[in-house]
Amino acid sequence: MRPAIHAALAALLGLLPAVASAQESAPLLHAMFQDHAVLQRDQPIAVWGDAAPGTHVAISLADKTVSARADASGHWRASLPAMPAGGPYTLSATAPAGTMIARDVLIGDVWLCSGQSNMEFQVRNALNGGAEASDGTDEEMRLLTVGKNVSTGAERQFLAPVEWRLAGPKSVAEFSAACYFMGRDLRRSQKVPIGLINASWGGTAIDAWRSESSFVGDPAARDRLPLLTQYRADPPKAAAAWAEKWTDWWSAKAAGAPQPWQADVPGDWKPVPSFEYWEGWGVEALREFNGVVFYRTEVELTAAQASQGATLLLGPPDDMDMTWVNGTGVGTNTAWGVPRQYKLSPGTLKAGRNRIVVAIYDSWGGGGLTGSPQQRGIRFADGSVAPLPDAKDWQYLVTMPSSGGEPPRAPWDGITGLAGIYNGMIAPIGEYGLRGVAWYQGEADAGATKGYAQRLAAMMKGWRAQFARSDLPFLIVQLANWGPRYPKPGESGFAEIRDEQRKAVAADPHAALVVAVDLGEPNDIHPANKQDVGHRLARAARARVYGSKETTGPWPVSAKRAGAEIEIRFEQVAGQLVAYSAMAPIGFELCGLAPATCRFVFARVDGSSVFVEDSPGPGERIRFCWGDSPVCNLYDESGLPAVPFELKVD
């Protein structure tokens, strides 16, 4: 009999494709099931893995044993009965040819934490991060971080190893701060083992985190979803189709301007000084330039080379590129600093001169086409590579500044496209049992706020389908304050996202909102105070999930005229409302239906209500704490801030 395989290898073994794993004589547990794992208490425990097709597998945990049979693809799945908090236990999967074992497995509560950079933000960078990590040893708290990955289809396995780690100085320092501080609070209050899964990625839009099925019927994805399907089947063809949309954008933004990707386009083309950031070229026009710069060159190919299958290689662009070969769009990517490899369709190349044009869009910081000579070339099917010319044989053309707008992003784009990060980072978690999800995201959508509430609702629905729990709780962190402060009312993408988050939570009986508008830093989009974010997440979890009577912070429910005033009524108030550092609350605006009609109005507190003056002028809407980084002082007696909002006045 094959000896038992220690589950420390599970993370690596879990990377094998089904065909390879099916050749193994012993069954494989999925990479989520390994030494030090935490399994969700009080609900049936789904366990799955791979084995040779048709193999019968016995799965055991503590004194419970169930069986499964691997299907034709070599996949098996079983469900163990629900168990109370406890452990440590041994989880095993046994077939006639061998056994795989995961040791030191606990039963407790498992939370998935996800979002963009403020969820990714590590404990070591938080306030007193070193001391927090040093004090983090807890053998009944386990941490798992999912590596960053994008895929055009839902992955069953992680494409990079994952590991359940005991909480300790090193593992805590490297873990999500908001997630850890939430988990630490829950560990203390619930007194059960806690497992935390961090799957987050800075700068990512919410569409990248949605399941592909959540886009079906979504009008905003009507044109993009077929392109994503096409990209999976034929990337070059999809890239050419997307180039037409890029061209439409260019024609609309640069009406009457030439199309630099076409042959022999005139203009102020100049030699490229180097494959470094253009800010360092010594060119005054580019010293602080953000926007679109075109690069072009030519390469001579033989008929034998042109007739082969080929891939275009480019060094890392910063930020994003759209690339053409002989006038045909061949690829686009928004991942800055990542070398490009674009597969070319047959017939794209020709014998003789071949024209390559790259449009680089830079939104901030350094911009340009960078990299070493080895990263630029055309690789042919026979393995040979035709190098692209040195910088002196490239030309550049400065065109549209970033004020003209950002180019459209393809539906297969990693951080803003459809479902890519969900496919690569969430789908591999499978049906792993969860107590709930903590979500901190939205900054990347602040430039496209319309419909964010619907996108967030669709994301939650898709995840609930994956985890087979229609009532899976979501804790939504409202965006923290960041950006300039203004003495007059104005519009704000961050404020609009906050209100969209409020609307999504209001419509979902299994979601809770965590206000963070008072926890940020106007000059730092990544505030270090993640302790209070974690505390508020844990409080929301206790109220929404664990049945405590704690309130989650003043929540506006109505705005109605009452004589010469408008009464805004709040729920979820601990004690009564209070105005910190003043005799009255500030930050209330009365607005008409049209833009630019908002003005600040006086307000007063009375118990769980705020009364604002019904001042002369239009007054169909009322806003509170509106702005990128507003100053607001309305709290309840527990110290929780009131939820920023916009309400219709009845």
Helix/strand/coil (H/E/C) assignment for every residue in 363-424: CCCCCEECCCHHHCEEEECCCCEEECCCHHHCEEEEEEEHHHCCCCCCCCCCCCCCCHHHHH
Q: Which residues of 179-209 are buried (b: 16+ CB within 10 A; e: fewer)?
A: bbbbbbbbbeebebbbbbbbbbbbbbbbbbb
Q: Is 191 a residue whose pLDDT tops 60?
A: yes
- The torsion angles phi and psi of 386, rounded to 5 degrees, stand at -95, 115
- What is the distance between the alpha carbons of residues 348 and 350, in angstroms, rounded to a whole number? 7
pLDDT tens digit string along 277-304?
A: 999 999 999 999 999 999 999 999 999 9
Closest by CA position to 183, among listed 550, 172, 115, 164? 172
Q: Is 269 a residue whose pLDDT tops 80?
A: yes
pLDDT at 23: 45
User: Which residues are CB-neighbours of 444 under 8 A, at least 6 positions away?
Assistant: 116, 203, 204, 205, 206, 415, 416
Q: Are 124 and 133 in contact (CB under 8 A)?
A: yes
Q: Is 21 a residue whose pLDDT tops 70?
A: no
* Average pLDDT of the residues of the chain: 94
- Ramachandran region, residue 493 (left: φ > 0; alpha: ψ -120 to 50; beta: rest): alpha
- What is the distance between the alpha carbons of residues 555 and 157, in angstroms, rounded to a whole number? 41
Q: Are 387 and 377 in contact (CB under 8 A)?
A: yes
Residue pointed to by tokens 């908002």: 598
pLDDT tens digit string along 547-566?
A: 999 999 999 999 999 999 99
Residue 201 — very low, low, confident or very high, per pLDDT cuts 50/70/90?
very high
- Ramachandran region, residue 362 (left: φ > 0; alpha: ψ -120 to 50; beta: rest): beta
What mean pLDDT comes out for the span 75-82? 98
User: Which residues are CB-neighbours of 9 under 8 A, at least 6 positions away?
Assistant: none
pLDDT at 283: 97
pLDDT tens digit string along 101-114?
A: 999 999 999 999 99
- What is the distance between the alpha carbons of residues 318 and 20, in angstroms, rounded to a whole number? 38
Where do the structural domains in the chain lie, given as residue ranges? Answer: 239-404, 555-648
239-404: which CATH architecture?
Answer: Sandwich (2.60)
Q: Is 590 a residue whose pLDDT tops 50?
A: yes
Residue pointed to by tokens 């030439």: 258
Helix/strand/coil (H/E/C) assignment for every residue in 267-331: CCCEECCCCCCHHHCCCHHHCCCCEEEEEEEEEEECHHHHCCCEEEEECCEECEEEEEECCEEEE
Closest by CA position to 598, among listed 613, 618, 628, 568? 618
Sign of the CA dihedral running 537, 532, 166, 460: positive
Sign of the CA dihedral running 325, 331, 335, 338: negative
Q: Is 16 a residue whose pLDDT tops 50?
A: no
pLDDT at 256: 82
Residue 22 — very low, low, confident or very high, per pLDDT cuts 50/70/90?
very low
pLDDT tens digit string along 520-540?
A: 999 999 999 999 999 999 999
User: Which structure tokens are listed for 100?
Assistant: 């795989």
User: Which residues are CB-neighbours of 148 under 8 A, at least 6 positions away?
Assistant: 201, 421, 424, 425
What mean pLDDT comes out for the span 150-165? 96
pLDDT at 414: 84
Q: Is 144 a residue whose pLDDT tops 80?
A: yes
pLDDT at 7: 33
What mean pLDDT comes out for the span 635-645? 98
- The torsion angles phi and psi of 94, rounded to 5 degrees, stand at -125, 135
- What is the distance between the alpha carbons of residues 62 and 90, in angstroms, rounded to a whole number? 6
Task: Report the DSSP pairing between strands 385-387 and 377-380.
Answer: antiparallel
User: Which residues are CB-neighbours of 86 under 8 A, at least 6 positions away?
Assistant: 106, 107
Closest by CA position to 115, among listed 550, 456, 360? 456
Q: Is 360 a residue whose pLDDT tops 60?
A: yes
Residue 25 — very low, low, confident or very high, per pLDDT cuts 50/70/90?
low
What mean pLDDT comes out for the span 4-10? 32
